[in-house]
Amino acid sequence: MILVVLENQRGKIHPFSVESVVAGQKIAKSLNQPLSILCVGDNIDPIHESAKQFDCSELILASHPLLKTYSADGFSKIIVDLIKSYSPKYCIFGHSYMVRDYVPRVSANLSIPFISDITSINLSSQNIQFSKQVFNAKLSSRIENESTNGCLLSFQSAAFSADELIKGAPEKVTNFEVQLSDSDIRSTTEEEFQESSSGVDLSTAELIVSVGRGIDNQDNIPIAEELAKVLGAELASSRPVVDMGWLPPFRQIGSSGQTVSPKLYFALGISGAIQHVVGMKGSKNIIAINKDEEAPIFEIADYAVIGDLLEIAPLLTEELRKR
C-alpha cells in the first residue's frame, strides 16, 4: 500500500501535506495500490475532519499525548512502528521543516532510502523516477528507489497542486495503537514562538504585491503599499529589502522566509534569485516588472513587463483607483 503522512500545523493540515496527498493518489493509482492516509499527533480531531474529504482506501489515526509537542525521537518512532506494521511500498510526506528533521531518522533506523525534496515524478518508467533539483537548481537529477523494503518520499512545495486533489471519502478509518513512553523521547521541547509581532500569514494570501531591490529606496516603498492596498493584496518582499530594514522580516518570502502560492504574485523590481524563487514559484500567476530583461524572474513569470516599476506601479494604482 501507499501511505501518506499528514502533518499537523497548529491545528490545520500543513499545505505541503495536502499536496503530497495528490502525489500519493497518483502513485497509488499508477501502481494499483491502496492509498492510506495517516493523521498523527496529539489532538488530531481537526486533521481527521479535513482528511475525511480525501479520496483514499483508509484513514489511519494515530494519536498520543506525548506527541503534543514535536520531538524527532517521538515522531520517528511512530512512523517506524507504522511502517513495520503496514510495510508500505512508499511512505509519502510533504517536504516541510519537520519532515527534514525526523524522517531521516526513520530512514536510518529501517535502512530504507529517503528520497527528499522531489519536484516531479515520472510514472511511465519501469521503476518510478523521482526528480529533484541539484547544484543550486542549475540541474535536476532523476532518482530511483533500489530498496525492496519500502521507500520514504517527500515532495517539494508546489510539486503538485492542491487543485488536483481527488475528493471523496476514506473507505474505512482505523485507529493505530501508538506505543510511546517518556523514555523514548530524549529531548525536551519548548513552546513554539514567533519573533516578529505580526499575525500576517502570507502563506494564505490570495494576492501578493512583492518588492525587491528594484524599489531602490525606502522612500519608494509606499508605491508598493498603495498598489497592494488598491488590489486588496498583501505586501511582501525579497530578502535584501528586509536586510536593509525597509520592511519587517515577516514580509520576507524565500528560503529563509515564507513560502507562498497565491493566485497572483506581483513581483516589483525582484531579480528572481533562487533563494527568493523557491518561496513563490508555486504562485498560480506571476506578473513581474523589472528594468533588466535578463532578470531570472522572467523565466518563471507568466507576464513579463520590462520597464520601470517606479513609473508603472503608481500609474497602475491610479487607474485601479478609478474603477
Partner 1 sequence: MFTILEKILLITFLSSAISFFLYHLYLRLSIVFKGKGSFDFDNLISRLKRLFDEVILHKKVISKQRTIVGFLHLFVMYGFIFFGLITLNHFLIPFDIKLFSPSFKLNYFYFVGLPWAILCLIGILGLAYRRFFIKPKFLGEKSKTSAVVSLFIFLLMITYLYDELHLWNTLLQYKINWWLHSFVIGSFLFLIPKSKHMHLVLSPFNIFLKPFDNPNHAPVPIDLEASEEELDNLLLDLSRLSKNQALDIFTCVECGRCTEVCPANRGGGILNPKYHFILDLKKPMLENQDVNVVDKINVEAGWECTTCQACTEVCPVGNQVEKADEIRSFQVLSTGDVPQEYQKLLMNLQETGNTEGKNSSEILKELPEYTAEKEIVLWLGCFAKHAMDPNFIKSVRNFTKILESASISYGVLSNEQCSGDPANKLGDKLTFQLLMDQNVEALKGVKKVVSMCPHCVVNLQKEYQKYHEINYEVKHHTQMIAELLEDNRINITPGSLEKVTYHDPCNLSRTLNETEAPRKLLQASAPNFFELEEHGKDTLCCGAGGALWWKKDTGEGRTHLLRAEQVIQSKTDTVVTGCNFCYGMMNQGIGPLTPSNQEKIQVKDIADIVAENLSN
Partner 2 sequence: MKIAVLTKAIPSYESLIRIDTSSKWIDDSIVNYVINESDAYALEEALKIRESLADNSEVVVVSMGPEDKCSKIIKDGLAKGADRAILIDSQEKISDPLSIATLISDCIKDEQFDLVFSGLQSDDLGSGQVGVLLGEKLKMSTATLAIETQIEPSAIRVKRELESGWFQWLTLPLPASISIQSGINNPRYPSLKGIMGARNKEVAKLNSNQFSNNKLQSMVELYIPSNEKQTKKIEGDSKSVVSRILEVLKNDLRIIQ
Whose CA is closest to 19, among 183, 189, 153, 157? 157
Size of the site for partner 2 (CB under 8 A): 86
CB 216 within 8 A of CB 309: no
Q: How far is the CB of 35 from partner 2 (least distance, A)?
A: 22
Using the CB atoms, write b or e for 75-87: b if 16+ within 10 Å.
bbbbbebbbeebe
Size of the site for partner 1 (CB under 8 A): 6
CA 216 to mean position of chain CA atoms: 30
Check residue 306 for interaction with partner 2 (CB under 8 A).
yes
DSSP symbol at 232: T
In whole angstroms, what is the distance from residue 244 CA to residue 309 CA? 19
Selected binder of partner 2 within 53, 189, 217, 218 (CB under 8 A): 189
Selected binder of partner 1 within 171, 206, 216, 319 (CB under 8 A): 216
Using DSSP's 3-state secondary structure scheme, residue 69 falls into coil
Measure the CA angle with vertex 108, ends 104 and 109; round to 5°: 115
Q: How far is the CB of 202 from partner 2 (least distance, A)?
A: 8
| Amino acid symbol at 236 | A
Q: What are the phi and psi torsion angles at 178 (to 5°)? A: -90, 125
Using DSSP's 3-state secondary structure scheme, residue 185 falls into coil
Q: For cell 512508499, what's the residue?
A: 90
Check residue 318 for interaction with partner 1 (CB under 8 A).
no
Contact pattern for partner 2 over residues 234 through 253, marking x by CB under 8 A: ---------------xx---
Check residue 306 for interaction with partner 1 (CB under 8 A).
no
DSSP symbol at 7: P
Nearer to partner 1, 243 or 299 (CB): 243
Q: Choose the binding region for partner 2 from 53-61, 84-92, 135-143, 169-177 (rule: CB under 8 A).
A: 135-143
Question: Which residues in the 10-69 window bind partner 2 by CB under 8 A?
Answer: none
Question: Which residues in the 75-114 window bind partner 2 by CB under 8 A?
Answer: 76, 96-98, 100-102, 104-105, 107-109, 111-114
Selected binder of partner 1 within 45, 164, 302, 311 (CB under 8 A): 311
Nearer to partner 1, 212 or 282 (CB): 212
Contact pattern for partner 1 over residues 225 through 254, marking x by CB under 8 A: ---------------x--xx----------
Q: Is residue 232 left, alpha or beta, with left meaning phi > 0 and alpha meaning psi from -120 to 50?
A: left
How long, in residues, is the chain? 323
Q: How far is the CB of 307 from partner 2 (least distance, A)?
A: 6
Partners of 301 in the beta sheet? none
259 binds, among partner 2, partner 1, none (CB under 5 to 8 A by kind): partner 2
